[in-house]
Structure 1
């Protein structure tokens, strides 16, 4: 299925050769996938957790860890050019079909939950002038968000060509308000305010805990770093997949870190922490007046709708490829004459709808959806990094092209440790909620195995299934007993 990004066009119908994407196109895909809702929330999210010192450390940790993960995807694209669909394929090749299935499902589910954050943030933005929408979690906001979900479903259902035409516009437009924000904030920057915000004195926790509190936010904004590898089968040159991943990451990292740090020079962090989302709009309003808030709000809507479109296509692609590889039920591998994976697209929209309703029961709909998105993505990232480590340690056992180097071993080890640390940083609450999402997915795995007339579980797979179900049961009990809250 030749899905493509903003600069490719689909064949008019029926089977056709895979669309081939250039380095520039793949890099734009990575940037477009990462720049979405998260960047507009960064000032508030960081100010709620830490001051300037903690923010600098957090970005250093996140930047290093995510760069290592980018290098992992670069190395895997070269070492295993036979593997398509990125994150999912690496987990399957490294750790077996069941964990590969979990990786595909987790990656897909994280995209669906992430799509919910987009609608919550849009409604919260409009809620600044329409109080009935609140922070994006009122009944009216959920109804309007639901309408948006299904309108986009119908748009994409008409054909990828029409969706890509819209994506071309928003990809170019989304970076403008962010770059303008950074420039204007630098002009309004107050060194004395920045200095007062340095140590995070308002927070009782240790610097380590302050940094830990920002980690899920950094994961969320970097989701999409694997965008080029998801479409790796469409690259003109295989090595362009890794190059696009690194180039896209470095570009976006500079933007994200700048947005966070310059905000500390505009307002006291206690005030930034209290801003409604999108907090970037409130910071710019303080710097230049009301027009700055309006400017950022309009830019946010454009950016978020573009990111929503890109992630919906990417989520459907993962389900479609997994079904073609017989790791998901066959119905998810069907596509229409317009080259649209309609069943996968329908399932993607349906899960987003369910999560959107669940956010109504959360105390903070946006941050809940953001953190859950990050938590769900950690297992796929950990498995991909673990596969790279496995290759570096035992290349002869993994059909590797070329020779692994000591540098690749170090990169894979750091990336694996970093993603494991992120699971710890997520905390028990989001690990248990992730189990609640993951465990029911096994029904899809069982259906796929039955369609193939195969044994449902190997002994190893049965153990993994038991652990996931036990985790889900504990999570449900914890929610019911009030030990954890949404």
Structure 2
């Protein structure tokens, strides 16, 4: 794409980019994930919370892209600029490790999909499933090393593979919808009060984060816009469109199946729901679309993971070695570490009872940390009036409100997800900090400020508690 073309993207093209960056494999798992936790009423509350919080976060990404156009190397640059080097590293590492966990989720979902026809793959976390996933993992790894990168043709195929099955799924379920079935499950399928419903909602919180990962992609589109005023429209309309898809995919199954039956479906549960309505071809149709979509998304996110480490090295947050490129222009050291971590996660899924749910929720928990830091930086910028001196007070107050709600939302989601995910995250962050320490020392820089040292100590303590909880069974995988 030429520089001139980049400056001539229309609002509808940008909206398509927003949708494409947000719709991923997670939407195919929504029926059973929500069916296992709550009914339609709880689902509506969950999406209201998630929709409001993530929309505020999208607004924060939007105004930061305009106010800080020089900070365009990754979402960790906001954390580094606002809160120092160590929190910049935490944001970069959290995004990278969360993305690696997300890639692991892709493999589990593919093998769980194939497990319907090949029982040896089970729910995607059996030894044969992990073995085949490992072959795919390293095949794509060596393909990327040779310089094979994401092409426009692949993007088009992946986008169609994502959207078409979802739209057809929604249309078929809308025609098959039965009001009495929906009403029977409305409060969760039992004699529940409001407190029970809120407990159900809490169990869906991290899932809603997972399906919206990619909202940060909207922050880079402002530079490509023919008209900067179109960016806000594209962000809002693209987000609302995705939110509507998520809500429909979540709610419509309650009108064709009872909640317990939905909850018992194997992943990807969209396939099971459509099979219950139209027969076997429905499951095959959804499964094929999912596999094409997930493989394309995996390629994109593998490149993104490697790029995150590569860019972090340029900002002196990880060792210089991760900034090296091979003769094909691929950050090969970063790519090797990325796929080694994914391989480790794949092996660990063998020992997880609910591997898909675990990796999905851990992905969300890790990604929420950089999201929180971005929102907090947006709040700090508006609160201190930096870059707002010539702007109306009403604009500054509006963006301050966006950042405040986004910050509170990210904090709420971290705590609502559960302490166990915070402790499991610490188990990754504590040894990961060695990368930061090596990076600072090889450049002759001081490692920690006093507040950063306290934060690191708290992370190490959290890691120790987490390991002890795993060893004693207080936390189970």
TM-score, structure 2 as length reference: 0.93
Of residues 339, 342, 346, the one that matches 2:332 is 342
For residues 300 and 258 of structure 1, the distance between their equivalents in structure 2, rounded to whole angstroms, comes to: 18
Structure 1 residue 335: deviation in Å? 2.1
Going from structure 1 to structure 2, the CA distance change for 1:87 and 1:370 (only over 3 Å counts) comes to same
Please, what is the CA RMSD of the aligned residues? 2.3
1:50-199 residue pairs with structure 2 within 5 A?
50-159=38-147, 161=149, 163-199=151-187
Of residues 324, 328, 340, the one that matches 2:318 is 328
Contact in 1 for aligned 2:189/2:259 (Cα 8 Å): no
Deviations 1:129-180 (A, max 9, x none): 1101111011000000111111111222222545554233212322110111
1:418 matched to which residue of 2? 409
2:248 matched to which residue of 1? 258
126-135 vs 404-413, which deviates more? 404-413
227-236 vs 433-442, which deviates more? 227-236
Contact in 2 for aligned 1:87/1:229 (Cα 8 Å): no
For residues 320 and 219 of structure 2, the distance between their equivalents in structure 1, rounded to whole angstroms, comes to: 23
Going from structure 1 to structure 2, the CA distance change for 1:62 and 1:162 (only over 3 Å counts) comes to closer
1:5-44 residue pairs with structure 2 within 5 A?
8=1, 20=6, 22=9, 27-44=15-32
For residues 234 and 337 of structure 2, the distance between their equivalents in structure 1, rounded to whole angstroms, comes to: 30
For residues 399 and 232 of structure 2, the distance between their equivalents in structure 1, rounded to whole angstroms, comes to: 13
Structure 2 regions of 5+ residues with no counterpart? none
Deviations 1:95-128 (A, max 9, x none): 1110011100100111100011111011011000
Find the residue that maps to 2:203 and give its secondary structure.
helix
Going from structure 1 to structure 2, the CA distance change for 1:402 and 1:51 (only over 3 Å counts) comes to same
Deviations 1:371-427 (A, max 9, x none): 11001011101111111111111123x798856521111111111111111011110
Structure 1 residue 74: deviation in Å? 0.8
Deviations 1:434-455 (A, max 9, x none): 1111111111101111121111
130-139 vs 330-339, which deviates more? 330-339
2:302 matched to which residue of 1? 312
Contact in 2 for aligned 1:160/1:339 (Cα 8 Å): no
For residues 240 and 441 of structure 1, the distance between their equivalents in structure 2, rounded to whole angstroms, comes to: 40
Going from structure 1 to structure 2, the CA distance change for 1:275 and 1:236 (only over 3 Å counts) comes to same
Find the residue that maps to 1:82 and give its secondary structure.
coil
Going from structure 1 to structure 2, the CA distance change for 1:208 and 1:262 (only over 3 Å counts) comes to same
Going from structure 1 to structure 2, the CA distance change for 1:239 and 1:438 (only over 3 Å counts) comes to farther
For residues 221 and 144 of structure 2, the distance between their equivalents in structure 1, rounded to whole angstroms, comes to: 18
Going from structure 1 to structure 2, the CA distance change for 1:70 and 1:200 (only over 3 Å counts) comes to same
32-41 vs 142-151, which deviates more? 32-41
Find the residue that maps to 2:329 and give its secondary structure.
coil
2:261 matched to which residue of 1? 271
Structure 1 residue 20: deviation in Å? 4.1
For residues 411 and 150 of structure 2, the distance between their equivalents in structure 1, rounded to whole angstroms, comes to: 40
Going from structure 1 to structure 2, the CA distance change for 1:241 and 1:43 (only over 3 Å counts) comes to same
Going from structure 1 to structure 2, the CA distance change for 1:238 and 1:453 (only over 3 Å counts) comes to farther
Deviations 1:432-480 (A, max 9, x none): 0011111111111011111211112121211111111111111101101
2:455 matched to which residue of 1? 464
Contact in 2 for aligned 1:285/1:291 (Cα 8 Å): yes
Going from structure 1 to structure 2, the CA distance change for 1:141 and 1:71 (only over 3 Å counts) comes to same
Deviations 1:264-307 (A, max 9, x none): 10100110000111111111011111111111111110111121
Structure 1 regions of 5+ residues with no counterpart? 1-7, 10-16
Say whether 1:481 aligns with 2:472.
yes
Going from structure 1 to structure 2, the CA distance change for 1:151 and 1:46 (only over 3 Å counts) comes to same
Going from structure 1 to structure 2, the CA distance change for 1:401 and 1:107 (only over 3 Å counts) comes to farther
Find the residue that maps to 1:206 and give its secondary structure.
helix
Contact in 1 for aligned 2:92/2:309 (Cα 8 Å): yes
Contact in 2 for aligned 1:124/1:134 (Cα 8 Å): yes
Say whether 1:294 aligns with 2:276.
no
TM-score, structure 1 as length reference: 0.91
Contact in 1 for aligned 2:388/2:396 (Cα 8 Å): no
